[in-house]
Amino acid sequence: MSGESKRLRVGYALEPKKIKTFITLSLLTHTHSQGIDLIQIDPTKPLTQPQPPYDVIIHKLHSTEWNQQLLNFSSQNPKTLVIDSPLAIQRLHDRVSMLDVVAELNLSPSVTTPKQVFVYDSKSLFDSVSNDLKFKFPIIAKPLVADGTANSHNMALVFNKNGVKSLEPPIVLQEFVNHGGVIFKVYVVGNYVQCVKRSSLPDICEEDMERLGDVMPFSQISNLNSSGYKVGVGDDVEMPSLSFVDQVAKALGKGLKLNLFNFDMIRDANGGDCARYYVIDINYFPGYAKMPSYESVLADFFKDIVKQNSVAVLPNGQGSNNREVPS
């Protein structure tokens, strides 16, 4: 058998913006040197029609039609590894259901999620303001749908009930936890886990809320500088241990049945010596190009899953697509 016939063929179906940021020259160069060919899939053509033989398909498209044809393709081509099941990915498109997995896993008392409430219409919004909320201000207002579109990122800090009244349902109201202006972004690629520290929203005390108005979109968070804040302060916030991050990441991956995702985690600034972490968001197929050495990480992942053939997607989204991928 020739060397060329042994090359791995990885098909990718991504939005144009994702292709631009993920399928970089450095990725193409490195994967090619590793015997991997990345092949763009045209989502406008049915997958059930004759296609190039793929060893792996990776994807991030949001249409119902695409999800259905991918499931049909999987059932007819069981030797092609589809990363990941559309049925598993769908859970992350809803900010209510995406965090349920954290409670289901019961990782440890030190890992939890912020309190939150789903406001689905104007009446429930009025009720949430009229009645006492389950948590104190400030709170974060997030769109219910988390599908990667621009609207899904339109969030706001809300400082009082008047601010809540200005919101448009459906939304998720989430407890704001002071976390030292630092967020830990954890990237997961199969069994590979990498944690990086990024700037986040600054800590806010009750006195500050009186001069910050009713509501502040995240896009205006830089305005806090004029209020005496230093956005992104957090050099004194310690990174969590690698073993701890790895434990959380692999538990989430197994619970979600996903290989390609990242999650945002913060540490309670008021926890003292007793570290308490909150998982606040989970995203499918994140911006891996921001992760150091992502080219080699992805190449190793493709080779490992094909070699072991331990990840498969079944039509019903169950079975061996449980993310048991060798490191």
d(C-alpha 273, C-alpha 102), whole Å: 23
Check whether 142 is labelled as a binding-site residue: yes
Check whether 95 is labelled as a binding-site residue: yes
Burial class (CB in 10 A: 0-12, 13-18, 19+), 197: middle
Check whether 253 is labelled as a binding-site residue: no
Check whether 295 is labelled as a binding-site residue: no
Residue 285 token pair = 């197929």
Check whether 317 is labelled as a binding-site residue: no
Q: Taken in order 251, 255, 261, 265, is the CA torsion positive or negative?
A: negative
Check whether 234 is labelled as a binding-site residue: no
Residue 142 token pair = 């997030």
**Is residue 152 within 8 Å of residue 209, measured between CB atoms?**
no
Check whether 181 is labelled as a binding-site residue: yes
**Is residue 218 within 8 Å of residue 156, measured between CB atoms?**
yes
Check whether 148 is labelled as a binding-site residue: no
Check whether 153 is labelled as a binding-site residue: yes
Check whether 18 is labelled as a binding-site residue: yes
Check whether 165 is labelled as a binding-site residue: no
Check whether 232 is labelled as a binding-site residue: no
Check whether 174 is labelled as a binding-site residue: yes
Check whether 183 is labelled as a binding-site residue: yes
d(C-alpha 114, C-alpha 132), whole Å: 17
Check whether 73 is labelled as a binding-site residue: no
Check whether 111 is labelled as a binding-site residue: no
Check whether 266 is labelled as a binding-site residue: no
Q: Provide the residue count of the chain.
A: 327
Check whether 175 is labelled as a binding-site residue: yes
Q: What residue type is 91 in one-letter code?
A: R
Binding site for ATP, by residue number, is 95, 142, 174-185, 200
Binding site for 1D-myo-inositol 1,3,4-trisphosphate, by residue number, is 18, 60, 153, 185, 283, 287
Binding site, by residue number, is 18, 60, 95, 142, 153, 174-185, 200, 264, 281, 283, 287
Binding site for Mg(2+), by residue number, is 264, 281, 283
